[in-house]
């Protein structure tokens, strides 16, 4: 039944005729206009503005964080090449807004379905919250030096939001206030660019757009870490932890339908920024209509128990079968525990004749010789490596640090020389595939 046994036609892979029902969504008018504005330089000034690539944040922008839970915030730019380190990173958000409103539904905009209309993007910038929260794992990004290329934030102008909690505030309230404030700030910055001529204007076809029936239907399955307070992921403003897997239009992600409140695992987390710029969706979209038909995106929680994981995998496999997917790329969030969710899905899908690719970070030990995966698929075999968790990196001392005074992992000042596994570098092993770290057999 699987198309894998067929020899492809010379130019295109032909879609096998034996697949099940196609998605019943038939709204071929769904599409999203995306206007991308490149940020080339940044500044602080009296008013927020965007002019010929220079993004200025007005000093009053900190009022967007006003909340009983926060005594104050400090906004500082950290740009590529600056001798600056950011520690205790929490979330990262790309500045975006929608004409007519609606961005970040459930937090800033009302919780209504998005993914259509016009969205403005300030590319090359990010709002980054940083500071202590419970259960948050120590993380690091260097804006210069050997570790700079290891994180996608090493390439963006980052508006770092440091915060002081209010005296008696509950940590959850602090977290919530930071989240809403960061999303509002992201919208506020992008709003300054709406009248500027964009550097790029794109039309992203929505789910259900007619495509060639000859091309293989390929979809993405995005597992979201949903482990409660400070390790949760929100969809349209609500925790996704008790939800069944859901087929969505990838364009909904462009508008911030998925927001991260997950502060564990710095290298293996998917910050809001990465959901907004979903790398698998972007890569599939680039080949859409030529080599494949980008057929949709499924979001799925990562249950913490084996029974839950097995049920979620069976549900996702059924969903993919009913949607008529020929192949699926599965990603995770988190460490070895999350591997189980990917592996179970890969096996369930392959058993149905649907080709499955999984993205994994390896835990091969400091010298790369340990067995690479904690929980590997039993039978499925096609895996992409996003690098070795245990690979060590040496970070030189820096001039200044944002996000905290100390680097708690090593109990040294945040500006000190650091020797750490790459697992500590924010976004370095990106399970959604935004990075370029990988493992090969040692030559």
Partner 1 sequence: MTRVVHYVNQFFAGLGGEDQAGIAPSLKEGAVGPGRRLAQLLGDDAEIVATVYCGDDYAASVEGAAAQILALVMSYEPDVLIAGPAFGSGRYGLACARLGAAADAAGLPVVVAMHEDNPGLDEAGTIPVVASGATSREMRASLDRLGAAARKVIAGDALTSDDGRIGRAARATTVAETTAAERAVDLVLTRLAGDRDATEIPLPRFDRVMPAQPIEDPATATVALVTEGAVVPNGNPDGLESARATRWLRYPIDEVASLASGDYVSVHGGFSTSWANEDPCRILPLDVARELEQEGAIGKLHAAYLVTAGNGTSVANARRFGIEWAAELRKAGVQAAVLTST
Residue 109 interacting with partner 1 (CB under 8 A)? no
**Angle separating helix axes 306-322 and 336-351, nearest 10 degrees:** 40
Least gap, CB of 43 to partner 1 (angstroms): 30
Cβ count near 8 (within 10 Å): 11
Residue 142 interacting with partner 1 (CB under 8 A)? no
| Cα radius of gyration (the chain) | 21
Residue 153 interacting with partner 1 (CB under 8 A)? no
How far CA 301 is from CA of 197, 240, 242, 336, 424, in Å, comes to 39, 6, 8, 15, 24
- From residue 257 to residue 296, the character string flagging contacts with partner 1 as x (rule: CB under 8 A) and all else as - is ----------------------xx-xxx-xx---xx----
Residue 375 interacting with partner 1 (CB under 8 A)? no
Least gap, CB of 224 to partner 1 (angstroms): 17
Buried residues in 306-339 as b, exposed as e (16+ CB within 10 A) = eeebeebbebbbebbbebbbbbbbbbbbbbeebb
Question: Which residues between 292 and 351 bind partner 1 (CB under 8 A)?
Answer: 292, 326-327, 329
How far CA 157 is from CA of 93, 119, 320, 366, in Å, comes to 12, 20, 38, 32
Q: How far apart are CA 140 and CA 142, in angstroms?
A: 7
116/281 with CB nearer partner 1: 281
Least gap, CB of 374 to partner 1 (angstroms): 12
Least gap, CB of 2 to partner 1 (angstroms): 9
Which of 34, 120, 293, 391 contacts partner 1 by CB under 8 A? 391
Cβ count near 24 (within 10 Å): 8
Residue 374 interacting with partner 1 (CB under 8 A)? no
Residue 21 interacting with partner 1 (CB under 8 A)? no
Residue 7 interacting with partner 1 (CB under 8 A)? yes
- Answer positive or negative: Cα dihedral of 90, 153, 250, 293: negative
Binding-site ranges for partner 1 (CB under 8 A): 3-8, 13, 149, 216, 218, 279-280, 282-284, 286-287, 291-292, 326-327, 329, 355, 357, 359-360, 362, 364, 367-369, 372-373, 376, 378-379, 381-388, 391, 422, 430, 432-443
């Amino acid at each position: 039944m699987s198309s894998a046994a067929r020899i492809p036609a010379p130019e295109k892979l032909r879609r096998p005729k034996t697949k099940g029902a196609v998605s019943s969504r038939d709204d071929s008018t769904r599409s999203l206009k995306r206007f991308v504005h490149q940020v080339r330089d940044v500044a602080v000034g009296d008013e927020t503005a965007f002019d010929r690539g220079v993004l200025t944040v007005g000093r009053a922008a900190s009022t967007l964080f006003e909340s009983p839970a926060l005594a104050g915030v400090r906004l500082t730019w950290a740009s590529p090449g600056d001798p600056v380190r950011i520690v205790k990173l929490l979330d990262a958000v790309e500045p975006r807004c929608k004409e007519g409103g609606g961005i970040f539904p459930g937090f800033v905009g009302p919780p209504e379905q998005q993914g259509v209309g016009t969205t403005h993007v300030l590319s090359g910038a990010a709002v980054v919250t940083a500071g202590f929260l419970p259960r948050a794992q120590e993380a690091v990004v260097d804006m210069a030096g050997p570790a700079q290329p290891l994180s996608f934030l090493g390439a963006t102008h980052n508006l770092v939001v440091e915060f002081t909690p209010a005296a008696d505030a509950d940590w959850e309230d602090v977290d919530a206030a930071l989240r809403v404030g960061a999303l509002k700030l992201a919208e506020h910055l992008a709003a300054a660019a709406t009248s500027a001529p964009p550097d790029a204007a794109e039309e992203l076809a929505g789910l259900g757009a007619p495509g060639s029936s000859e091309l293989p239907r390929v979809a993405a399955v995005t597992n979201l870490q949903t482990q409660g307070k400070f390790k949760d992921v929100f969809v349209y403003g609500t925790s996704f932890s008790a939800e069944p897997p859901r087929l969505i239009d990838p364009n909904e992600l462009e508008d911030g339908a998925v927001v991260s409140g997950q502060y564990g695992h710095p290298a293996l987390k998917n910050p809001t920024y990465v959901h907004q710029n979903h790398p698998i969706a972007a890569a599939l979209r680039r080949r859409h209509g030529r080599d494949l038909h980008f057929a949709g995106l499924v979001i799925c929680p990562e249950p913490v128990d084996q029974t839950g994981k097995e049920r979620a995998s069976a549900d996702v496999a059924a969903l993919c079968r009913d949607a008529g997917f020929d192949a699926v790329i599965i990603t995770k969030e988190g460490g070895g525990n999350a591997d189980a969710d990917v592996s179970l899905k890969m096996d369930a899908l392959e058993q149905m004749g649907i080709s499955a690719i999984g993205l994994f970070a390896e835990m091969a030990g400091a010298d790369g010789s340990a067995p690479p995966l904690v929980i590997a698929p039993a039978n499925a075999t096609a895996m992409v490596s996003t690098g070795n968790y245990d690979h060590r990196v040496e970070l030189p001392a820096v001039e200044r640090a944002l996000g905290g005074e100390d680097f708690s992992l090593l109990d040294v000042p945040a500006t000190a020389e650091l020797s750490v596994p790459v697992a500590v570098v924010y976004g370095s092993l990106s399970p959604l595939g935004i990075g370029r770290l990988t493992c090969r057999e040692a030559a």
